[in-house]
Amino acid sequence: MRVAIIGAGAAGLACAVELQRHGVVPELFEQRPRVGELFPHVAGTLQLFNRPVDDQVRYLRREFGLALTPLAPMRRILMKTPYRTREVRGRLGYFFLRGQDPDSLENQLCSAVTSPIHFNTRADHRYLARRYDYVVVATGNNEVPAALGCWQPLMKAVVRGAVVLGEFDPYTIVMWVDTQYTKGGYAYLTPFSARRASLVLNVPDAPPAAADYYWSTFWRAENLRYQVVEDFVWEHYFGWVYPHRVGNVLLAGIAGGFMETFLGFGLLGALRSGVLAARAIATGQDYEELVKPLRREMHQTLVFREWLNRATNRDVDLLVRVITSPGLRQLIYNTNLEWIKWTARSMTLWRRVADRLRQLRGAGIPARDPKHRPVRPAAPPRPAERPEGPVPAPGRSRERPWRRIP
């Protein structure tokens, strides 16, 4: 079986490792001269967002066959609003080194890949789809899913970041929210070591040209005194993807929409979807079915994203005060209860009820009239599943087959 993987990032490399395990030797195409992002940074993974998974590193090894060594465990989160700083402690997640360092996550994965990697090669999915049995698109952006008509944009964020020198706790992530420089986003600091850290500002719906404005406002507002040794600007794309397979092309990682929409953390989604794409190819299982739990997780975080888009500094401050209050803090951070899932469900339900009440009031119908029986609107027709077959040429796939996950 001939399999091509476009992109030797988190999803593409994870996919290659799993295919090899099944006896398939894929070919990888990577536009850069080596694996790893051009700028070093430290990615955090929050255990709260992956429950009931207790330990993400063990989970990746056990369920996905990926033996990864994190940079450090995350033991403390410092949350900063314009009004206060609060902290939580516990087994909160992990830090992973990203970039071209020999110990980076990409290089750890790459050392397990024995299949050929064609570096300095910008691949085209249409060309490869005609020559290979399967093509896995793991390009870390929305180009291919948009060309295939599977991408529904949700949000675009500009990411401004730097490697900074100073004094840091290697086990602590610091997070800031202040709408004057984060808008509906946030800033965070993740440590490489006690002397070096990565500082990242994520501003939704801002053009790259505005990145420097928000970045300097952030430094001024927080009176930061770090020394910058390297900096970068990046654009993050958030979107729904459906379907995740078009003909013989499978979409993984960010190209498959596997990035949670609240904080834009997509590392675990990329690794998991890469492995699942490989399993679908090697075992003939339905990729759409395999990624269903991931889609559900991404969908859950959307309600928090919508909230954060509208939230004022006071709203965020209230949230921080509530979740870090004694008692509740223990319950949220030191148990394995699925808070994200249940809070998302309650918020969605509450929003539906509130919308309905608003509608009833708008129609002049007293909301509490016991005789009133609202008529359920007819369910929208289900979009037809795409037939399997050759990859449609661009321009022939203009319809949008995505759908909101119920």
Ligand X SMILES: Cc1cc2nc3c(=O)[nH]c(=O)nc-3n(C[C@H](O)[C@H](O)[C@H](O)COP(=O)(O)OP(=O)(O)OC[C@H]3O[C@@H](n4cnc5c(N)ncnc54)[C@H](O)[C@@H]3O)c2cc1C
Interface with ligand X (CB under 6 A): 6-12, 29-32, 41, 43-45, 122-123, 138-140, 159, 161, 200, 234, 253-255, 259, 265-267, 270
Q: Which is nearer to ligand X, 45 or 81 (CB)?
A: 45
Q: Which is nearer to ligand X, 6 or 150 (CB)?
A: 6
Rounded to whole angstroms, the Cα distance separating 189 from 228 reads: 13
Q: Which is nearer to ligand X, 140 or 321 (CB)?
A: 140
Closest separation between CB of residue 144 and ligand X, Å? Answer: 8
Closest separation between CB of residue 293 and ligand X, Å? Answer: 17
Q: Which is nearer to ligand X, 111 or 346 (CB)?
A: 111
Closest separation between CB of residue 99 and ligand X, Å? Answer: 10
Contact call for residues 160 and 210 (beta carbons, < 8 A):
no
Closest separation between CB of residue 35 and ligand X, Å? Answer: 7
* CB neighbourhood size of 132 (10 A): 18
The conformation of residue 106, written as its DSSP 8-state character, comes to: H
Which is nearest to 250 in space by CA: 200, 300, 288? Answer: 288
Which residue is associated with the tokens 């990032």?
9
Q: Which is nearer to ligand X, 162 or 316 (CB)?
A: 162
Closest separation between CB of residue 164 and ligand X, Å? Answer: 13
Largest CA distance in the chain: 70
Closest separation between CB of residue 152 and ligand X, Å? Answer: 17
344 Cβ partners below 8 Å, 6+ apart?
300, 301, 303, 304
Q: Given 3-state DSSP classes, what are the helix, strand and coil percentages for the chain, each rounded to the nearest 5?
A: 35, 25, 40
Contact call for residues 298 and 257 (beta carbons, < 8 A):
yes
Q: Which is nearer to ligand X, 120 or 334 (CB)?
A: 120
Q: Which is nearer to ligand X, 184 or 253 (CB)?
A: 253
Q: Which is nearer to ligand X, 35 or 88 (CB)?
A: 35
Question: Per-residue b/e over 342-362, b at no fewer than 16 CB within 10 Å?
Answer: eebeeeeeeeeeeeeeeebee
240 Cβ partners below 8 Å, 6+ apart?
151, 152, 154, 257, 402, 404, 405
Tokens for 128, please give them: 């490869």
Closest separation between CB of residue 229 and ligand X, Å? Answer: 15
Closest separation between CB of residue 326 and ligand X, Å? Answer: 28
Nearest residue (beta carbon) to ligand X: 9
Which is nearest to 241 in space by CA: 229, 252, 225? Answer: 252
